[in-house]
């Protein structure tokens, strides 16, 4: 019996492009849904990705969720349908679009198995998740119900914590690059997470599609070496960089206090971090060998946390751009900044301080950093700043004295956390460090 033909929907996305690569690598005739020009717009990255798929041997199939007939025709070409539409609210949340796809699969009548867009925590086991993050799992359960009521064969793939979102920032909410100076520890830092490389998720997913052992089941990806607490993840990073990080403990109450300043998508993400790092939803997860991917497919060499973190070792020097202002050569100080739009961001800049005043950062309209943060100006004074200052949420207050720089607090040689300021003013500050 030959290998199944596979259609991947959402193939140019974060998980989708990995699924296409894995499907081709495992010898499957692979089809990728290509949306019409009116939907792709001027997204050059997607176009280039589609071209690269074609060069690798994939078939591009014109179809759209807005054209039901095209979905049915695309589905009729294959044996297996895998959907990888985004379920991440901070990017785009399209989980319920799959209801149209389920109808198309039912009408086509030829699909041997459907793998819906899941890939995170098992929706079935997240019924007590915190709001509004629970909406992610509720939507996935709606899709599951439709699949099962339609009598469509399925496999649900639960990969728990997708590595880039969790390991990149050492399990700190809102961070995607690991720090070299300090780290926020959520709660006591001892509750376990399960971290899986995105390429491994794709490899295991494709392994399941022709395997009768995985039919009409949820398959969990729980690499045993990657079941770690946040503190254990931090320790592995410290070993890699040869340095111990200063650790700041963030209580559950202070973590949740930042929620009201976030938009809906960010609140969803915060809720997921709360469930894993403060409530330990994955700590008690018990999975039998017959349902766990690394046991079912021992030939796959999965990526360990150490191996995953190694790739960041040469990147972290890039997260501290230097800015200087003309005619001033005073002290060097580090800024640790957050805004309501993106709390607990990594260290963003090392600046040369200037005398009393208000100066714009270089660049028209301010300097943009990762994840949407823009700093237009930097405020500083030779007297401590007060919380009466009316500041935009994208700006920072710095207090400069003869030998120290601090944020609304007597300066200390230790990094400090000031959650109260988050509640008193438009902007929020994560820490402070003395000038050297």
CATH code: domain of residue 199: 3.40.50.720
According to the model, what pLDDT value does residue 93 have? 77
- What does 241-280 look like in DSSP terms, one character per residue? HT-PPEEEEE-HHHHHHTGGGS-HHHHHHHHHHIIIIIS-
Question: 370: Cβ–Cβ under 8 A, 6 or more apart, which residues?
Answer: 176, 177, 345
Indicate the SS3 state at residue 374.
strand
Q: Confirm whether 96 is domain-assigned.
A: yes
According to the model, what pLDDT value does residue 366 have? 33
Query: How many structural domains does the chain have?
Result: 2
Measured CA to CA, the distance from residue 334 to residue 219 in angstroms comes to 45
State CA 126 to chain mean position distance: 18
According to the model, what pLDDT value does residue 41 have? 79
One digit per residue, the tens of pLDDT, for the chain of length 436 reads 689 999 999 999 999 999 999 999 999 999 999 998 878 878 899 999 999 999 999 999 999 999 999 999 999 999 999 999 988 766 677 899 999 999 999 999 999 999 999 999 999 999 999 999 999 999 999 999 999 999 999 999 999 999 999 999 999 998 999 998 899 999 999 999 999 999 999 999 999 999 999 999 999 999 999 999 999 999 999 999 999 999 999 999 999 998 888 989 899 999 999 999 999 999 888 899 999 999 999 999 999 999 999 999 877 544 433 333 232 223 233 333 333 333 322 333 333 232 223 323 333 233 333 323 333 333 333 333 333 333 333 333 333 222 223 332 222 222 222 232 222 222 223 333 222 2
Identify whether residues 261 and 375 lie together within a single domain: no
Among 279, 310, 341, the domain-final residue is 310
* 0.85 surpassed by pTM: no
Measured CA to CA, the distance from residue 46 to residue 48 in angstroms comes to 5
Among 287, 310, 333, the domain-final residue is 310
Report whether 195 contacts 278 (CB < 8 A). no
Identify whether residues 206 and 295 lie together within a single domain: yes
Q: Angle, to 10 degrees, between the axis of helix 68-75 and the axis of helix 98-108?
A: 50
**Of 21, 134, 140, 207, catalytic:** 140
Which among 105, 59, 101 is positioned nearest to 84, based on CA atoms?
Answer: 101
Question: 223: Cβ–Cβ under 8 A, 6 or more apart, which residues?
Answer: 194, 196, 200, 294, 302, 304
Measured CA to CA, the distance from residue 24 to residue 16 in angstroms comes to 12
According to the model, what pLDDT value does residue 344 have? 29
* Number of other CB atoms surrounding residue 278 within 10 Å: 18
Identify whether residues 242 and 324 lie together within a single domain: no
Which runs of consecutive H residues, i.e. helices, occur in 242-387?
A: 252-257, 264-273, 293-296, 305-310
Report whether 218 contacts 254 (CB < 8 A). no
Q: Confirm whether 360 is domain-assigned.
A: yes
Report whether 165 contacts 229 (CB < 8 A). no
Domain extent, residue 131, equals 6-310
According to the model, what pLDDT value does residue 259 have? 87
Tokens of 416: 């400090």
Query: Radius of gyration of the chain from Cα atoms?
Result: 24
Indicate the SS3 state at residue 428.
strand
Q: Confirm whether 133 is domain-assigned.
A: yes
Among 310, 344, 362, the domain-final residue is 310
According to the model, what pLDDT value does residue 91 have? 63
Identify whether residues 281 and 414 lie together within a single domain: no
Measured CA to CA, the distance from residue 351 to residue 111 in angstroms comes to 59
Q: Note if 145 is an active site residue.
A: no
Q: 326-352 burial string, b = 16+ CB within 10 Å, else e?
A: eeeeebebbbbbbbbbbbbbbbbbebe
Identify whether residues 330 and 301 lie together within a single domain: no
Identify whether residues 269 and 130 lie together within a single domain: yes
According to the model, what pLDDT value does residue 359 have? 29
According to the model, what pLDDT value does residue 285 have? 87
């Amino acid at each position: 019996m030959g290998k199944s033909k596979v259609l991947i929907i959402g193939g140019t996305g974060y998980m989708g492009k990995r699924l296409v690569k894995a499907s081709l690598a495992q010898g499957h005739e692979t089809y990728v849904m290509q949306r019409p020009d009116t939907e792709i717009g001027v997204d050059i990255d997607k176009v280039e990705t589609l071209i690269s798929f074609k060069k690798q041997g994939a078939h591009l199939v014109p179809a759209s969720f807005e054209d039901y007939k095209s979905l049915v025709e695309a589905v009729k070409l294959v044996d297996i349908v895998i959907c990888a539409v985004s379920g991440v609210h901070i990017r785009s949340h399209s989980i319920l679009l799959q209801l149209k796809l389920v109808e198309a699969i039912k009408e086509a009548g030829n699909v041997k198995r459907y793998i819906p867009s899941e890939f995170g925590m098992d929706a079935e086991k997240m019924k007590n998740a915190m709001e509004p993050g629970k909406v992610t799992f509720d939507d996935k359960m709606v899709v599951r119900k439709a699949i099962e009521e339609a009598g469509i064969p399925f496999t649900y793939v639960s990969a728990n914590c997708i590595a880039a979102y969790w390991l990149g920032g050492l399990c700190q909410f809102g961070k995607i690059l690991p720090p070299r100076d300090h780290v926020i520890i959520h709660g006591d830092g001892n509750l376990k997470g399960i971290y899986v490389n995105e390429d491994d998720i794709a490899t295991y997913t494709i392994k399941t599609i022709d395997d009768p052992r995985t039919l009409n089941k949820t398959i969990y990806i729980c690499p045993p070496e990657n079941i770690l607490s946040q503190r254990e993840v931090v320790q592995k990073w410290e070993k890699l960089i040869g340095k111990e990080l200063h650790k700041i403990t963030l209580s559950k109450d202070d973590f949740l206090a930042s929620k009201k300043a976030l938009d809906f998508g960010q609140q969803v993400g915060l809720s997921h971090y709360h469930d894993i790092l403060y409530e330990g939803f994955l700590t008690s997860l018990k999975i039998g060998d017959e349902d766990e991917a690394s046991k079912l497919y021992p030939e796959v060499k999965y990526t360990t946390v150490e191996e995953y973190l190694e790739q960041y070792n040469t990147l972290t020097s890039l997260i501290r751009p230097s800015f200087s202002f003309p005619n001033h050569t005073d002290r060097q100080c580090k800024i640790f900044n957050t805004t309501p739009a993106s709390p607990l961001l990594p260290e963003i800049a090392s600046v040369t301080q200037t005398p009393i005043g208000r100066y714009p950062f270089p660049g028209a309209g301010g300097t943009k950093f990762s994840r949407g943060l823009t700093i237009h100006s930097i405020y500083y004074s030779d007297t401590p700043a007060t919380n009466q200052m009316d500041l935009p949420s994208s700006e920072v207050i710095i207090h400069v004295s003869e030998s120290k720089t601090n944020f609304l607090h007597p300066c200390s040689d230790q990094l400090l956390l000031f959650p109260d300021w988050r509640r008193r003013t438009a902007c929020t500050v994560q820490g402070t460090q003395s000038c050297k």
